[in-house]
Each structure stands twice: as C-alpha cells, then as structure tokens.
C-alpha cells in the first residue's frame, strides 16, 4: 500500500535531532510522499529546501496561519507571491480562522488576512489548505469561513480546489466543505475516544471525500498519544478509518492516495 501524508510539519523543531532518520523510516514504512506545510514566514525557504532534498517525495504548501496572521505585512506578501511560483509549491495554506487563538491574534486581523490569502489563491491559481478551529461549541468560525469562500474565492478548476485540514466538526460543517468542493483531511482526531461525532460525520461524507494527514508533530493517533507524531503513522490512521467505514484498508489507501495526488496536482 502506498500512502501520502497530506499535511505534515517535518521542519518543526521537534525533528531537529533526527529529521533525516525519521524521513528515511517514513519512506520505508508505506508513506511514500508527504506534504510539508510551511505556514509561518520563516518556514517558507526551509520547506522548499526540503523539497529539493527529496524530489518527487516532498511537496510544499506555503501560507500564513491564522494564529500568526499579524506577521503578514507587505514584505511577507511580496515574498509569498514570488515563492508561490516555485514548482515545488502545491497549494496555499494553511490559511483560515482559529478562534481558539484569539489571544494570540485578534479576530479582525485573522479575517483581514484570510481574505487577502483567498485573493492570493485566486491570483496564483493554487488549491487551498484550510484551517478552521472553533472555541468550545461555538461553530461560528466555520460559518464565517465558508461565507468568505462563497464571496471571495474562485476555486481552481482542478478536481479538488482545496482541503479542510484536521477535520474535527459535525456533518453540518463537513457538508458545507463538500459543497465548496473541498476534501476533508483526517488525522489522529478521528481516532480519539470522545470524537464519535467526527467519525459519524466522516462516515456520512464517505471515503471518496477524504485525504489522510498526521499534522505532525502534533495529534498522534490513539495508542500513541503524548508521543511525537510523524508520517509513518499514516497507515495506522488509515486502519482506524477503514475499520470504522467497514472497508478494506487497501481500498481506503488507494482512494485517499489518489485524492491527495489530485488535490495537490502530483504524479
Ligand atoms: Zn498543520
């Protein structure tokens, strides 16, 4: 089985001591590609360097995370527009709204930068990687984000114009994402005991709408919680999803790998 980790942060400092060994092990254990997400300005160039080091195995997604939206100034904007032209860049992200981090970045700044990021996606014609996080049971950031997509976004005309990464909401939110043509990024959150509502929503959405991700070094799957996550856990996450959807893991691997290739326009 060939898996793709559609969302990883391998350049995170958590991997500073053994990055190359981790990557070697990942490629030997079923995950043959991963997508490096660089969503802070200082991460952009190192992400492209990682792609150069592992050609055809690593692609990059560049953007500005809502938690650090205030760092998006004119110089960042010019740099990002330039770097998005690099052939290693598969998408723009992760961008969106994070209402659990309003203490780190105020709502108004998040909204302004999200709108700018969507304008940029329209301009450079790249798919988007969407990050939406709510605070407690307030689903408002989903409604707000989808409102922005409806009014400020022109999806690229590829099979999938984007992904709602780290899907951790109800079917109502899944449905809105699917209506915009987005895939759902499924990670360790799917495996946690208390998250039956996520599993139910994913089942209703169906395997055809999924890509697998780790969001490493965070969100290790059940059984490995509290340890550092990495893309070699993708087969484990796949097994959880396949079991819940009552389908062979080989079939799930085939579907989700093809979805990731289509989403990021990779061979
Ligand atoms: Zn992430």
Q: Measure the CA–CA gap between 256 and 227, rounded to whole angstroms.
A: 25
| 174 alpha carbon – ligand 1 mean position (Å) | 18
CB 115 within 8 A of CB 108: no
Q: How far apart are CA 56 and CA 27, in angstroms?
A: 12
> Could you tell me which residues come within 8 angstroms of residue 157 by beta carbon, excluding any fewer than 6 positions away?
none
The rounded Å distance from CA 98 to ligand 1 centre is 12
1 C-alpha to center of ligand 1: Å? Answer: 24
Instruction: Using the mean position of ligand 1's atoms as its centre, give its distance from the Cα of residue 132 in Å.
Output: 11
Q: State the residue range of the domain holding 259.
A: 3-264
Total number of residues shown for the chain: 267
The structure tokens listed for 131 are 């990050």
* pLDDT attached to residue 30: 94
Residue 162: both structure tokens together = 């984007």
What distance in angstroms lies between residue 221's CA and the mean position of ligand 1's atoms? 15
Structural domain count of the chain: 1
Q: What is the pLDDT of residue 146?
A: 98
Instruction: Output the CA 4–ligand 1 centroid distance in Å.
Output: 15
Per-residue confidence (pLDDT) for residue 50, from 0 to 100: 98
pTM: 0.97
pLDDT of residue 179: 97
pLDDT tens for the 267 residues of the chain, in order = 899 999 999 999 999 999 999 999 999 999 999 999 999 999 999 999 999 999 999 999 999 999 999 999 999 999 999 999 999 999 999 999 999 999 999 999 999 999 999 999 999 999 999 999 999 999 999 999 999 999 999 999 999 999 999 999 999 999 999 999 999 999 999 999 999 999 999 999 999 999 999 999 999 999 999 999 999 999 999 999 999 999 999 999 999 999 999 999 999
For the stretch 72-121, pLDDT in tens is 999 999 999 999 999 999 999 999 999 999 999 999 999 999 999 999 99
CATH number of 106's domain? 3.20.20.140
Query: How many angstroms does the Cα of residue 94 sit away from the middle of ligand 1?
Result: 7
247 Cα to the center of ligand 1, angstroms: 27
Copy the structure tokens of residue 173.
Answer: 């939110």
pLDDT of residue 188: 97
What is the CA(65)–ligand 1 centre distance, in A? 9
Instruction: Give the pLDDT score at 62.
Output: 98
Query: What is the 28 CA–ligand 1 centroid distance (Å)?
Result: 23
What is the CA(8)–ligand 1 centre distance, in A? Answer: 6
């Amino acid at each position: 089985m060939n898996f793709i980790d559609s969302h990883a942060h391998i350049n995170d400092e958590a991997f500073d001591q053994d990055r190359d060994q981790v990557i070697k092990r990942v490629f030997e254990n079923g995950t043959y590609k991963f997508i490096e997400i660089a969503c802070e300005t200082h991460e952009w160039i190192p992400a492209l360097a990682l792609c150069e080091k592992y050609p055809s195995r690593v692609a990059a997604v560049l953007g500005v995370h809502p938690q650090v939206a205030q760092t998006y100034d004119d110089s960042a904007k010019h740099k990002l527009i330039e770097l998005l032209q690099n052939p290693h860049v598969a998408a723009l992200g992760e961008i969106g709204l994070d209402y659990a981090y309003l203490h780190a970045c105020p709502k108004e700044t998040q909204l302004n930068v999200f709108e700018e990021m969507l304008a940029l996606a329209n301009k450079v014609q790249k798919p988007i990687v969407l990050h939406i996080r709510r605070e407690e049971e307030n689903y408002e950031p989903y409604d707000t984000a989808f409102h922005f997509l409806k009014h400020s976004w022109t999806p690229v005309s590829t099979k999938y114009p984007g992904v709602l990464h780290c899907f951790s909401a109800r079917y109502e939110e899944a449905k809105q994402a699917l209506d915009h043509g987005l895939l759902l990024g499924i990670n360790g959150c799917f495996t946690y005991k208390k998250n039956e509502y996520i599993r139910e929503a994913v089942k209703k959405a169906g395997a055809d709408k999924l890509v697998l991700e780790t969001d490493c070094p965070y969100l290790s799957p059940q059984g490995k919680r509290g340890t550092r996550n990495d893309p070699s856990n993708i087969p484990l996450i796949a097994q959880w999803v396949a079991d819940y959807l009552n389908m062979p893991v080989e079939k799930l691997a085939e579907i989700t790998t093809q979805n990731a290739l289509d989403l990021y326009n990779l061979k």
